[in-house]
């Protein structure tokens, strides 16, 4: 079952049973679906019950819990830099992970992502939904090909996993904390008030970006503790907790970078 939350006018968060979120933005002429969830629920069916407008589908990055529903759509765009992630997944592993995430006998993957015919290289940097211009912004760090969608008229940024307050730089195709820092500095220069991530159905205030920048600065020379992600893909790393406040801010890096 997919739960739908309207966070702004014509902007929705669609959360599946694996707690993976997609963002639906409805313009006057077109609609945007940013990510397709884990695949355990049919995002296409939900979207089509909400709008009949032509649909543009873009993945924020290539991790399995954001591309899982891709095969239910005719065409899905992904950054070329994240196509190597698709090669890492086989259907048996993904179906096992879905069962572990949902505690149900879910079998959404009939073929491996590298075999999907719907995949297209993201080869444009802007589009218009009808009185709603959108710009594709590189958010490299969480993965090499992570992207966001900046919607100036709504003062909103869709960020996928790239701007989660606990910054995860230990999953497949991740980059360094320096790359994450450079991304955050560029994001800070954009004009927006709120942003959406891919595992929460709430708006985060832009002021968190400055705290994330400070987290990376403050982590220099500090102790990082061993950390293992408690669910698929079970990646290990090292974590530095910077501050709590309205939202915990932390940095997780790979064991290789820590060494």
Provide mean pLDDT across the span 226-236: 94
Q: What is the pLDDT of residues 121-170, one digit of tens each?
A: 999 999 999 999 999 999 999 999 999 999 999 999 999 999 999 999 99
Strand, helix or coil for residue 142: coil
Q: Is 242 inside any structural domain?
A: no
Is residue 259 assigned to a domain?
Answer: no
| Residue 117 falls inside a structural domain | yes
Residue 15 lies in a domain: yes
CB 5 within 8 A of CB 15: yes
Q: Residue 24 maps to which CATH number? A: 3.60.15.10
- Cis, bond preceding 125 (omega within 30 deg of 0): no
Name the domain count of the chain.
1
Q: Is residue 48 part of a domain?
A: yes
Q: Which residues span the domain enclosing 158?
A: 3-214
pLDDT of res. 257: 86
pLDDT at position 47 over 70: yes
Tens digit of pLDDT for each residue in 55-104?
999 999 999 999 999 999 999 999 999 999 999 999 999 999 999 999 88
Cα separation, 62 vs 71, whole angstroms: 13
Residue 62 forms part of a structural domain:
yes
Model confidence pLDDT, tens digit, residues 8-42: 999 999 999 999 999 999 999 999 999 999 999 99
**To 5 degrees, how large is the angle CA 26–CA 29–CA 34?**
40
Q: How far apart are CA 147 and CA 58, in angstroms?
A: 9
Q: How confident is the model at residue 107 (pLDDT cuts 50, 70, 90)?
A: confident
Tell me, yes or no, whether 24 lies in a domain: yes
Does residue 44 belong to any structural domain of this protein? yes
């Amino acid at each position: 079952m997919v739960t739908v939350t309207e966070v702004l006018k014509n902007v929705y968060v669609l959360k599946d049973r694996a707690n993976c979120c997609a963002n639906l933005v409805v313009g006057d002429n077109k609609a945007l679906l940013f990510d397709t969830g884990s695949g355990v629920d049919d995002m296409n069916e939900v979207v089509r019950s909400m709008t009949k407008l032509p649909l543009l589908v873009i993945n924020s990055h290539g991790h399995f819990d954001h591309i899982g529903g891709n095969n239910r759509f005719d065409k899905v765009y992904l950054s070329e830099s994240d196509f190597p992630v698709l090669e890492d997944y086989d259907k048996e592993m993904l179906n096992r992970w879905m069962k572990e995430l949902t505690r149900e006998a879910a079998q959404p993957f009939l073929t491996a992502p590298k075999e999907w015919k719907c995949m297209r290289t993201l080869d444009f940097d802007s589009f218009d939904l009808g009185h709603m211009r959108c710009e594709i912004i590189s958010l490299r760090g969480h993965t090499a090909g992570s992207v966001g969608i900046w919607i100036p008229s709504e003062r909103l940024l869709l960020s996928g996993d790239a701007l989660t307050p606990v910054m995860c730089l230990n999953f497949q195709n991740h980059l360094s904390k320096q790359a994450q820092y450079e991304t955050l500095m560029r994001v800070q220069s954009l004009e927006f008030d709120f942003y959406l991530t891919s595992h929460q159905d709430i708006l985060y205030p832009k002021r968190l970006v400055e705290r994330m920048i400070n987290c990376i600065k403050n982590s220099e020379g500090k102790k990082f503790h061993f950390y293992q992600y408690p669910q698929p893909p079970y990646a290990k790393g090292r974590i530095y907790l910077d501050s709590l406040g309205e939202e915990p801010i932390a940095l997780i890096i790979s064991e290789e970078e820590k060494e």
